[in-house]
Amino acid sequence: MRRAFLIAIPYVWLLALFLVPFFIVLKISLSDIALAIPPYTPTLDFSQGWAGIKDFFSQLDFENFIWLTEDDLYWKAYLSSVKIAVISTFFTLLVGYPIAYGMARAPVEWRPTLMMLVILPFWTSFLIRVYAWMGILSNEGYLNQLLLWTGIISTPLTILNTQTAVYIGIVYTYLPFMILPIYSALERMDESLIEAAEDLGCSRVQAFWLVTIPLSRPGIIAGCFLVMIPVIGEFVIPSLLGGSGTLMIGKVLWEEFFSNRDWPVASAVAVVLLLILVIPIVLFQRNQQKQTEAEQ
Amino acid sequence: MSALPFLPDCRTGAIVNSEVFAPWEDPQAKPLIQFQNVTKRFGDFTAIDNLSLDIFEKEFFALLGPSGCGKTTMMRMLAGFETPTEGHIMLGGQDIDPIPPNKRAVNMMFQSYALFPHLSIWENIAFGLRRDNMPKHDLEDRVEEMLRLTRLTQFARRKPHQISGGQRQRVALARSLAKAPKLLLLDEPLGALDKKLRQDTQFELMDIQEKTGTTFVIVTHDQEEAMTVASRVAVMDQGKLMQVATPDRIYENPNSVYVADFIGDVNIIEGRASANGENTYQIDWAEGQAPLTATSANGFAQGQACHLAIRPEKVTISADRPADAINAVQGKVHDIAYLGNLSTYYVELPNGTIIKAQTANTRRISRRSFTWEDPVWLSWTATAAVLLVD
**Is the predicted pLDDT of residue B2 greater than 60, yes or no?**
no
* DSSP assignments along B311-378, one per residue: -GGGSEEESS--TT-SEEEEEEEEEEEE-SSEEEEEEEPTTS-EEEEEEE--S-GGG-S--TT-EEEE
Best residue of B75, B76, B99, B102 to probe chain A, by most A CBs closer than 10 Å:
B102
Chain A: nearest CA to B187, how far in angstroms?
12
Query: Which residue among B101, B118, B161 places its CB closest to the CB of A199?
Result: B101
Is there a contact between A130 and A236 (Cβ–Cβ < 8 Å)?
yes
According to the model, what pLDDT value does residue B19 have?
Answer: 67
B128: pLDDT strictly greater than 90: yes
Q: Using 50, 70 and 90 to split pLDDT, how confident is the model at B13?
A: very low
B15 pLDDT exceeds 60? no
Q: pLDDT at position A154, please?
A: 86
- Does the residue A235 lie in any domain? yes
pTM of structure:
0.80
A263 burial level (CB within 10 Å; 0-12, 13-18, 19+): buried
Mutation choice for B interface testing from A191, A194, A199 by most B CBs within 10 A: A199
Q: What is the per-residue pLDDT for B242?
A: 93
- Residue A191 falls within a domain, yes or no? yes
Cβ-Cβ contacts under 8 Å, A192 against chain B: 110-112, 114
- Cβ-Cβ contacts under 8 Å between A and B: the total is 57
Domain that holds residue A226: 69-295
Ranking A159-168, B227-236, B360-369, B377-386 by mean pLDDT, the lowest is B360-369
Residue B352 pLDDT level (bands cut at 50, 70, 90): confident
Class of domain B10-105+181-258: alpha beta
pLDDT of residue B224: 87
Q: What is the pLDDT of residues A208-237, one digit of tens each?
A: 999 999 999 989 999 999 999 999 989 899
Q: Would you call A185 an interface residue with chain B, using a CB distance cutoff of 8 Å?
A: no
- As a whole-number percent, the residues of chain B with pLDDT over 70 amount to 95
Return the H-helix or E-strand segment holding A79: helix A72-105
Tell which residue, B200, B197, B111, B122, has the closest CA to residue B157: B122
Query: What angle, rounded to 10 degrees, do the helices at A263-295 and A63-70 form?
Result: 90
Q: Is A189 on the interface with B (CB under 8 A)?
A: no
Rounded to a whole number of angstroms, the distance from the CA of B114 to the nearest CA of chain A is: 5
**Chain B contacts of A214, Cβ < 8 Å?**
118
- Which of the two residues, A45 and B151, has the higher pLDDT score? B151
Low-confidence winner among A35-44, A116-125, B120-129, B174-183 (lowest mean pLDDT): A35-44
Q: What is the pLDDT of residues B188-200, one digit of tens each?
A: 888 777 888 888 8
pLDDT at B6: 43
Q: Does residue B289 carry a pLDDT above 90?
A: no
Nearest chain A residue to B116 by CA distance is A193
Q: Which residues in chain A touch residue B191, judged by CB atoms under 8 angstroms apart?
A: none
Judged by CB atoms closer than 8 Å, whether chains meet at B131 and A206 is answered as: yes
Nearest to A192 among B106, B114, B127 (CB): B114
Q: Does A196 touch chain B (CB under 8 A)?
A: yes
Query: Residue B290: pLDDT band by 50, 70, 90 thresholds?
Result: confident
Residue A198: its chain B contacts at CB < 8 A?
Answer: 100-102
Cα separation, B70 vs B48, whole angstroms = 6
Kindly state the average pLDDT of the residues A272-292. 85
Q: Which of B72, B115, B118, B177 to mutate to test the interface with A (most CBs of A within 10 A)?
A: B118
Q: Which residue of A has its CA nearest to B112?
A: A192
Is A198 within 8 Å of chain B by CB?
yes
Shortest Cα–Cα distance, A259 to chain B (Å): 52
Residue-level pLDDT at B16: 42
A1 inside domain:
no
Half-sphere exposure of B119 (CA within 13 A, CB side): 22
ipTM of model: 0.80
Residue range A56-69: mean pLDDT, rounded: 86
pLDDT confidence of B9, banded at 50, 70, 90?
very low
Q: Please state the φ and ψ torsions of residue A106, each to the nearest 5 degrees.
A: -70, 155
Check pLDDT > 70 for residue A168.
Answer: yes
Whether B18 has a pLDDT exceeding 60, the answer reads: no
Residue A171 within any structural domain of the chain: yes
Q: What is the pLDDT of residues A8-28, one digit of tens each?
A: 888 999 899 889 999 999 999
**Chain B positions in Cβ-Cβ contact with residue A213 (cut-off 8 Å):** none
For A102-168, the three-class secondary structure string (H helix, E strand, C coil) is HHHHCCCCCHHHHHHHHHHHHHCCHHHHHHHHHHHHCCCCHHHHHHHHHCCCCCCCCCCCCHHHHHH
Would you call B128 and A214 a contact, using CB atoms and an 8 Å cutoff? no
Residues linked to residue B345 through DSSP beta bridges, in sequence order: B336, B357
Q: pLDDT class for B7, splitting at 50, 70, 90?
A: very low
A190/B112 touch (CB, cutoff 8 Å), yes or no: yes
Which residues in chain A have Cβ-Cβ distances shorter than 8 Å to B179? 200-201
Count of the separate structural domains present in chain A:
1
User: How distant, in Å, are the alpha carbons of B330, B337, B343, B370, B373 from that of B348?
Assistant: 9, 14, 16, 14, 9
Q: How many C-alpha atoms does A34 have within 13 Å on its Cβ side?
A: 13
pLDDT tens digits for B60-118? 999 999 988 999 999 999 999 999 999 999 998 899 999 999 999 999 999 999 999 99
Cite the residue boundaries of each domain of chain B with CATH code 2.40.50.100. Answer: 265-388
Does residue A15 sit within a domain? no
Q: What integer best gives the mean pLDDT of chain B? A: 88
**Per-residue pLDDT at B259:** 93
**Which fold does the domain B265-388 belong to in CATH?**
OB fold (Dihydrolipoamide Acetyltransferase, E2P) (2.40.50)
Whether residues B110 and A201 touch (CB distance < 8 A) is answered with no
What CATH code is carried by the domain that includes residue A174? Answer: 1.10.3720.10
CB pair distance less than 8 Å for B114 and A190: yes
Q: What is the mean pLDDT of residues B273-283?
A: 86
Q: Is the pLDDT of residue A295 over 80?
A: no
Per-residue pLDDT at B12:
45
According to CATH, where is 3.40.50.300 located in chain B?
10-105+181-258
pLDDT at A102: 95
Average pLDDT, chain A: 90
pLDDT interval class at A51 (50, 70, 90): confident
Q: Higher model confidence: residue B5 or residue B311?
A: B311
